[in-house]
Every structure is written in structure tokens, then in C-alpha cells.
């Protein structure tokens, strides 16, 4: 096997960071629901590709905001989210600590091994 796994690992870390940020701000659903059952979860099709997004995390045309149906839901699954509140992706972008440091309670790749 070649060195490709490091690229995949970085991608995996980035995905975990997104859902970890949601847990950091909103907690984890105590009933262990899935994101696919959340009203803030959306799906669509673009250029023949199916995509999933969390509207609270934030949406873009980039795969970097893609979401997974199978994620364990955050605490917002049963709650409204004010339309004008900042999206998590924007909070992360503008907070130098959250942007570079590990978020408290953030899962690591090792947690899944
Ligand atoms: S439960 Fe809803 S708001 Fe929370 S991360 Fe999943 S899709 Fe986003």
C-alpha cells in the first residue's frame, strides 16, 4: 500500500471536526437520533451528484460542507434554529482558537479505531 491513506485520514479528520463542532455548541442528542431525521438536514442533487448538508453547520457548493446521514444527531434535532443566527462554519472561520485548536470534547480519529 502507498502513502495515500494520509490524504484520506486528513479528509476523515476534517469531517469529524465538523460534527464535533456541532456537538461542542449544541451537545449530542440523548436519544442518539441520526442527522437524516433532523429538520435541519437537507439533501439535493447537483451536476448529477447527490449531496447532504446541515443547514445549521452551513452550506456551500463545496464538498467541504457535505454531511452524512449516519452522523449521530446533535442536540438541535428537536429544536428550531433562528434563521438569522450565525452558522457554525462562520463561527469556526472567525475564531482563531476554534480554528486551530482541538475543540473540547472533539472526537479524534483514534476514538473510532
Ligand atoms: S442533528 Fe441536525 S442540526 Fe445537528 S448536526 Fe445533524 S443535521 Fe445538523
pLDDT at residue 106 in the model:
59
The pLDDT > 70 percentage for the chain reads 71
Q: What is the pLDDT of residues 17-58, one digit of tens each?
A: 899 999 999 999 999 999 999 999 999 998 899 999 999 999
pLDDT at residue 9 in the model:
53
Ligand 1 pocket test: which of 16, 38, 67 has the largest number of ligand atoms within 8 Å of its C-beta? 38
Quick one: which atom of ligand 1 is closest to the CA of 71?
6
In whole angstroms, what separates CA 36 from the centre of its chain? Answer: 12
Quick one: which atom of ligand 1 is closest to the CA of 67?
7
7 CA to centre of ligand 1 in angstroms: 26
Handedness of CA 5, 22, 62, 53 (dihedral sign): positive
pLDDT at residue 48 in the model:
92
Helical residues (DSSP H) of the chain, grouped into ranges: 5-26, 88-94, 96-100
- pLDDT exceeds 80 at position 14: no
Max Cα–Cα distance, the chain, nearest Å:
48
Quick one: which atom of ligand 1 is closest to the CA of 33?
1
80 CA to centre of ligand 1 in angstroms: 11
Q: How many residues does the chain have?
A: 113
pLDDT at residue 113 in the model:
45
- pLDDT exceeds 70 at position 63: yes
CB 74 within 8 A of CB 23: yes
Amino acid at each position: 500500500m502507498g502513502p495515500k491513506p494520509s490524504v484520506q485520514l486528513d479528509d476523515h479528520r476534517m469531517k469529524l471536526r465538523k460534527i464535533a463542532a456541532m456537538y461542542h455548541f449544541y451537545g449530542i442528542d440523548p436519544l442518539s437520533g441520526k442527522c437524516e431525521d433532523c429538520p435541519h438536514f437537507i439533501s439535493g442533487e447537483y451536476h448529477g451528484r447527490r449531496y447532504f448538508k446541515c443547514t445549521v453547520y452551513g452550506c456551500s457548493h463545496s464538498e467541504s460542507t457535505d454531511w452524512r446521514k449516519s452522523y449521530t444527531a446533535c442536540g438541535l434535532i428537536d429544536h428550531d434554529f433562528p434563521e438569522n443566527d450565525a452558522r457554525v462554519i462562520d463561527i469556526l472561520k472567525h475564531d482563531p482558537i476554534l480554528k486551530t485548536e482541538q475543540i473540547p470534547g472533539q472526537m479524534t480519529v483514534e476514538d473510532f479505531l
